[in-house]
Amino acid sequence: MSFSSEVKEELSRCIPEARHCQIAEMAAILSVCGQICISADDKYQIIVHTENVSVARKYFTLLKKTFKIEADIRIRKNTYLKKASVYRVAVNSHEDTVRILQATKFVTPEFEITDDLSTMNHLVVQKDCCKRAFLRGTFLAAGSISDPEKAYHLEIVCATEERALQVQSILRELELDARIVNRKKNQVVYLKEGSQIVELLGLMEAGISLMNLENIRILKEISNNVNRKVNCETANIGKTVSAAVKQIEDIRYIETHMGFSQLSEGLEEIAVLRLQYQDATLKELGEMLNPPVGKSGVNHRLRKLSRIADELRTNKEDYYD
């Protein structure tokens, strides 16, 4: 099971206690998957179609708990996707359908109704708890989340720009910086920061998924820190080796073209030691001197030897010119 499926499975089993929150979550599911059918004699029927069993289970449970309605469930195989099933949850009673539409505010006080349920009435999500329930239902019906082992990305696909702006607005009211991008015929509301995705999982009450994501984030951060440290140490070792190679080349050039006898006692001593102990660190070289010298002192002498070698090379070039 994918991480996204695990999140939805957990959310499908989270039933809010307050009736107004149950209605907000049901309205969110209806706004994505719902369809209103009107018969020739003006009788209403409301149907939810979904390929996600978690959505079907949640909607069926909310109908029973909130309105004490037993919905009709049918399952059929998708002819285009051989392994996928399509779940049809229908409320066939006209009276029950009217109750649902009135509670979810998909019908006006004048009983004007439309089969376009994509945008919800703001009265359904006035309270923060209802906003969280709305986001839970919306994510269940139209959301997905990437495998956090690979990337941090959560998105909700919306059929219209108005719907996307409504979802974005509610997320921003809860201090989540959601963005919108066009994708084919849809508008996609998304979050890309791990911390914001964690916060949204918390708001939707997906506690287990939140902890799983946090554990992955911690392990990835530790791994990144270790890699950075290793890379830094590798780079430092590379610099140290390169510096030692250059020092040895300079000292050998001095030995060949000038000899050590013309060097001061301190420079001659460090030159001999560096040739003898080519893998030694500056600290180790300093400890071998008599009297011992610190790293900065050793580095100063080696830099002086490098300048002498450079002067010898320059003088040689001038001679041949």
The pLDDT value recorded for residue 81 is 57
User: Lowest mean pLDDT: which of 78-92, 115-129, 217-231, 306-320?
Assistant: 306-320
pTM above 0.95, yes or no: no
The helix, strand and coil proportions of the chain, stated in percent and rounded to the nearest 5, come to 60, 15, 25
How do residues 143-171 score in pLDDT, each as one tens digit?
Answer: 999 998 888 999 999 988 999 999 999 99
How do residues 45-66 score in pLDDT, each as one tens digit?
Answer: 999 999 999 999 999 999 999 9
How do residues 178-218 score in pLDDT, each as one tens digit?
Answer: 999 999 889 999 999 889 999 999 999 999 999 998 888 88
Q: Has residue 116 got a pLDDT over 70?
A: no
Q: How far apart are the first and last CA of the chain?
A: 76
281 φ/ψ angles, rounded to the nearest 5 degrees: -80, 170
Q: How far apart are CA 202 and CA 211, in angstroms?
A: 9
**E strand or H helix at 307, and its extent?**
helix 295-320
